[in-house]
Structure 1
């Protein structure tokens, strides 16, 4: 990383999948992996293009059963552009000698550049330079400029460009036993030789896809079509030292797009009207410049460089264009096929960042959840509960998409997957509703769609709570927590755990917060909501009772991850590290040994400690007090220490949460975990997973660490609350915010000093609340504060 450029030097087949993910370009509508255009999909390369929300469902025969999966579809590949000397072989890094190779993402401009020099024998060298963009101003356009320069020879070069509809979802090795042929009925044609098109549709969801490409070069273009492939060819004359250029411009539409009649017609019209590459680049640069201004982040050193890359990929997945779509937060971005493009709870780590920069995007992402509220209520009824049960994995229509079996690559066995028992995803939806409304001041959303979601999620938790006469408390039974390792008690015949502390405490928070919202709704709206949902005073009394009596287990002076956790065996951590080295996926190691992680005090990732991520120390103490428990600093610190030593960090989110919690506790180890979170994808710490798609939640979470975690920033009660923590490794940083209608509020912390600037506007002043004082900053003012030690 050099400032605003992310660069790879040399060609290494083993790293190609990782580079493709981290060099992905996107605009919130679609994204294309950073694959070389001359290379087809194989064990090294996977050129994938993914349209937000474009899913398809297929059924496969696996382990003696029929398994149905819905996937984010790898749509036709618009990249193909290959080249060769006349009558020679097509040139790729696998077929020709590569003298030099560089691949660079220019973050400021959203431009991918590659430079390669191929040795052709007899002292001849072909230099190839490409610039690629996925247009940030027009979300349906992409373009590829290729420049060829002959070194030491004269000759003709054949160039073939194509739109390839013969692609499959084959980017994740462990899914390859499953059917990945999502596209059908390909058809190709030409408007003119320099403008070709391809159309197809998804096999079961019947989404029609239209793609059109225009090729311009300093030579005649001819078209040549094959099955599922719209091709174009041009022969270029090369002279030593003279550069010739080929520009390929592509338009992509699907039948899910608004304001079109037919996706193919729309694609043809759009690409025919598209300006030349230089003009496209100019409007693309302007759009990116505006994004960077809205998401301004100034962090020095290597950490700042990595954070800029993280922000780049968040903006490419969830841009202002996303606000026009019916999509959720794909856990692996639009960068690959891992997790099948599904929506998990990762929005819990993404929306808090977006709320304070792109609130219109946050509102749209919450709209995705609201449109699937009826489906969540149906899922609750099927489970014998009232309210809304949101799925652990969501796709097109909000049904549960979690697979019923999963493959352990280490043992080769297909195993039952019980992760749909992670019912806490509903609490994540509720948390995001509340955080968005507090940050944006969007009372209209809170009083309508937000209140409806909160009510049904609270109703589900209240109805899921079982009264235990012996304990004199309510309990939530048969669930899984965020840990994901533990899905049952040792030797149990049924999956599920009782009283997961994270689940119970967040359920109590949902009930308490929803009560506040319902009681403060405007009376006409409260009456409408009660009439539509059958809400009455008796149910509110039940919520009040459950919110104060949910059981939180303890053992040995620390909070238990779940009831019975303290009875589990201790794991020989050092022994397993010595035998296996990397034990992040300890569950797979133990299963391959015919053992189970359910027997041990061992977590994949932060579970209970997630409470310290979601809630400030003050709010967390208040939640426990409401439940009738005392949570002092000593108990919390003991609890943190207990789980620090019993977590394998098999998720990129784990280092982030631990770094956040330790920073708030002013612990010296915080930076170690923060660095792990920063490096999770760029160093591929999970061992090959980044090549299947980036980890969007972890990337957004590192941004939020700087935005909310270290400054102790909260948006509540109509004010910005700040309680900065000193982190020696990151003591100077600044960022901008969009807060309740104020655009571009600047906050900068410099070694014990805080500077707040509110731009000129007609808005009301902003209240800034610190532990020891309150200040009011009016539009057009800058306020300087010395922070208490």
Structure 2
């Protein structure tokens, strides 16, 4: 939670005097910088813990170097300055000779210069004077050891370490990854102000390098040590040689004060663009800003220049090996209305791996494109075949990688980006290929049953990871998952629509034309109208065919026995039981449809398949599945907070608060030490931005249908809709929209189906009229 990053580079909040010891874990990561260690099936790939640029400590002459467990800490305070992106630390230590030394530190990872990080340390001898030595260096002996339960990628990822000095105050270190031999270079410049002239000597062993500076310390007089680091890799653009670039960058970097001023100015601009306020006195304003801060540290504008995706655990640790899952589904909607260029760049990460997705589809006997559940550098499937049961520590077969709905999430994200931005160049160049590749895979996967003119999709799994097969047939998948089939029906329609849109704009078409003939489009349309759905009761779609025949769990018994049931699947496995036997869910599955689609859209999809559907039954659908869900995934409460927003605002707000606390409430007993939960981080912000405001882009129209929870007096944010900045202020009675002066033509906004024209440089306030009746589900505007 004390990680600092800028979208390119991130450094965990470990103390500079600490090494990895089970409590402290220094970690430095670059976005998209992965390595594959040798092993079965070609080994496993992970984000790489890079050489540690932080090491800095001190000792009185002839004393011990200060480190954890040495000397007595009389006081320590750490703080994260969100506004400036600054990590602050102060401690007072007492050594065995009763010398008291106060240490003040400021740390940044520059948002103005993405390759630069800096640490300022002020030493004050409170009750002594004398010679002091300061050791500063770079440690290349680091290992990946943050995820002890995932040993496949733990260990040494770097080799060929070389190091040296450049001038009197700069040390450098280079290394290469053990697999692809990608180079990384880290340089560090150390300067001292105060204390008189300092002598320097080089220290270090084969895989680390540093300097020891010796100078006189006088009681009460501060000595300031400034350490500036630069990190480059062979993956960087416009860089000939990483070491040359790193040495030049660190020499050119200004003082810590200058770096901080530039860094603060960059953060100020980011905060202006990503402002989301619920009131300074509101208890959850700070968590909202913490989530915004950590999201931007992983996905800043600099991430748009990289070939990197959306890592499930940010750049904050090695959880899930730094792999890319479907979490982007919860991230892009927020970015689309703030920094759409970044969404496009991240979708291009997927597009560049389309060839690998086509090969994966072909390897499974299909066509089109199938993106893997976990992705990394090349786009090959990085999903593990085994994992540890956290309850009993036993290894079990892991079938979670068999979730082909990942490519449906990518297709959904590509279309929603186009719908929000109107970016025709993206749709023609990349979006259409993603949509058509997805459509072709699922059209081939659907099998036709002429007896009742229905298509079946068999042997797949949806978002709920508790069900990977039928009882006694684990890992073999399920038939006619409601989430999958309805998403497929939607994706087939969007692929055909995208093809029609691009065909009307021949000038936007790239040099290679995608051909979808009439016969293929007719088959897509037929499948999209005749996919099979199962139902557990009148109007309630079954999670999959046969779900209603599964046993009900004795929830009271398990709650009495275990209390917290977030690990219910693992608990059942540890007992020798099988989660596939029960009507239980780890996370939202059917209800994900209500997260992704409005009530109007979902109603139209179900009716399109030829089934009756009454949107008034939506509260019953929510209740049916919510009471059978354990929220074993951090993403679950995001979806449930959304679907409850219009039927039970109190429970929706409670779900949102639980999601906001994912990484904050109890990090000591969660997996936050392995990285933040980026999907939950962005998803909570998006609930405030889109769900409670009723903000939707549909049919080339921006719509607002606000319904704030009672716990929120108002909500202020800035959105960017088709290159127009719009400031929103929403309370329980009014909506205020304002745009800055400019040359943009007016834009029409529908506020509860009431059109409002918003011209550049104007402010419009609209009364909301009669309150929305909780529990109602009109077919429009949801």
- TM-score, normalisation: structure 1: 0.94
Which residue, out of 132, 150, 153, partners 2:107?
A: 132
Deviates more, 1:363-372 or 1:490-499: 490-499
Q: Measure how far apart 1:527 and its partner are.
A: 11
Residue in structure 1 matched with residue 234 of structure 2 by the alignment: 255
CA 1:343/1:178 → structure 2, altered by over 3 Å: closer, same or farther? closer
Give 3-state SS (helix, strand or coil) of 1:216's partner: strand
Q: Measure how far apart 1:638 and its partner are.
A: 1.2
Give 3-state SS (helix, strand or coil) of 2:645's partner: helix
Residue in structure 2 matched with residue 481 of structure 1 by the alignment: 462
Which residue, out of 304, 311, 325, partners 2:292?
A: 311
Give 3-state SS (helix, strand or coil) of 2:641's partner: helix
CA 1:339/1:684 → structure 2, altered by over 3 Å: closer, same or farther? farther
Which residue, out of 70, 87, 92, partners 1:112?
A: 87
Which residue, out of 540, 546, 552, partners 1:564?
A: 546
- Measured in 2, the distance between the counterparts of 1:573 and 1:182 equals 45
For the pair 1:417 / 2:398, whether they are aligned, the reply is yes
For the pair 1:755 / 2:736, whether they are aligned, the reply is yes
Q: Measure how far apart 1:684 and its partner are.
A: 3.5
For the pair 1:192 / 2:167, whether they are aligned, the reply is yes
CA 1:181/1:734 → structure 2, altered by over 3 Å: closer, same or farther? same
Contact 1:356 1:739 (C-alpha < 8 Å) held by counterparts: yes
Deviates more, 1:547-556 or 1:84-93: 84-93
Contact 1:679 1:685 (C-alpha < 8 Å) held by counterparts: no
1:286-305, Cα deviation, whole Å (9 max, x unpaired):
11111111111111212211
Q: Measure how far apart 1:58 and its partner are.
A: 1.1
CA 1:665/1:629 → structure 2, altered by over 3 Å: closer, same or farther? farther
Q: What 5-or-longer segments of structure 1 have no aligned partner?
A: 1-21
Give 3-state SS (helix, strand or coil) of 1:622's partner: helix
1:580-619, Cα deviation, whole Å (9 max, x unpaired):
2222111111111111111111111111111111111111
Residue in structure 1 matched with residue 268 of structure 2 by the alignment: 289
Q: Measure how far apart 1:402 and its partner are.
A: 0.3
Contact 2:468 2:475 (C-alpha < 8 Å) held by counterparts: no
Residue in structure 2 matched with residue 646 of structure 1 by the alignment: 628
1:131-174, Cα deviation, whole Å (9 max, x unpaired):
00000011000000000111112233221111111111100120
Residue in structure 1 matched with residue 722 of structure 2 by the alignment: 740
Residue in structure 2 matched with residue 74 of structure 1 by the alignment: 49
Residue in structure 2 matched with residue 687 of structure 1 by the alignment: 669
Give 3-state SS (helix, strand or coil) of 1:163's partner: strand
Residue in structure 2 matched with residue 394 of structure 1 by the alignment: 375
Residue in structure 2 matched with residue 441 of structure 1 by the alignment: 422
Residue in structure 2 matched with residue 91 of structure 1 by the alignment: 66
Give 3-state SS (helix, strand or coil) of 1:339's partner: helix
Q: What 5-or-longer segments of structure 2 have no aligned partner?
A: 772-782
Residue in structure 1 matched with residue 411 of structure 2 by the alignment: 430
Residue in structure 1 matched with residue 220 of structure 2 by the alignment: 241
For the pair 1:522 / 2:503, whether they are aligned, the reply is yes
Aligned length: 763
1:747-781, Cα deviation, whole Å (9 max, x unpaired):
11022110000111111111111234111110011
For the pair 1:359 / 2:340, whether they are aligned, the reply is yes
Residue in structure 2 matched with residue 208 of structure 1 by the alignment: 183
Residue in structure 1 matched with residue 37 of structure 2 by the alignment: 58
CA 1:441/1:523 → structure 2, altered by over 3 Å: closer, same or farther? closer
Residue in structure 1 matched with residue 11 of structure 2 by the alignment: 32
CA 1:23/1:493 → structure 2, altered by over 3 Å: closer, same or farther? closer
1:197-231, Cα deviation, whole Å (9 max, x unpaired):
00001011211001111000142332223111011
Q: Measure how far apart 1:184 and its partner are.
A: 0.4
Q: Kindly report the root-mean-square deviation, in angstroms, between the aligned alpha carbons of the 2 structures.
A: 1.7
Q: Measure how far apart 1:741 and its partner are.
A: 1.1
Contact 1:193 1:232 (C-alpha < 8 Å) held by counterparts: no
Give 3-state SS (helix, strand or coil) of 1:429's partner: helix
CA 1:171/1:254 → structure 2, altered by over 3 Å: closer, same or farther? same
1:537-564, Cα deviation, whole Å (9 max, x unpaired):
1000000011111112111232111111
Give 3-state SS (helix, strand or coil) of 1:420's partner: coil
- Measured in 2, the distance between the counterparts of 1:648 and 1:763 equals 48
Give 3-state SS (helix, strand or coil) of 1:394's partner: coil
Which residue, out of 166, 180, 183, partners 2:158?
A: 183
Give 3-state SS (helix, strand or coil) of 2:665's partner: coil
Give 3-state SS (helix, strand or coil) of 1:419's partner: coil
Residue in structure 1 matched with residue 776 of structure 2 by the alignment: none
- Measured in 2, the distance between the counterparts of 1:607 and 1:447 equals 31
Q: Measure how far apart 1:471 and its partner are.
A: 4.5
Residue in structure 2 matched with residue 8 of structure 1 by the alignment: none
Contact 2:147 2:154 (C-alpha < 8 Å) held by counterparts: no
- Measured in 2, the distance between the counterparts of 1:681 and 1:41 equals 22
CA 1:353/1:204 → structure 2, altered by over 3 Å: closer, same or farther? same
Q: Measure how far apart 1:666 and its partner are.
A: 4.0
For the pair 1:280 / 2:262, whether they are aligned, the reply is no
- Measured in 2, the distance between the counterparts of 1:333 and 1:75 equals 16
Residue in structure 2 matched with residue 13 of structure 1 by the alignment: none
Give 3-state SS (helix, strand or coil) of 1:53's partner: coil
For the pair 1:152 / 2:127, whether they are aligned, the reply is yes
For the pair 1:657 / 2:639, whether they are aligned, the reply is yes
For the pair 1:170 / 2:145, whether they are aligned, the reply is yes
Q: Measure how far apart 1:470 and its partner are.
A: 4.5
- TM-score, normalisation: structure 2: 0.95
Contact 1:656 1:676 (C-alpha < 8 Å) held by counterparts: no
Residue in structure 2 matched with residue 701 of structure 1 by the alignment: 683
- Measured in 1, the distance between the counterparts of 2:759 and 2:96 equals 69
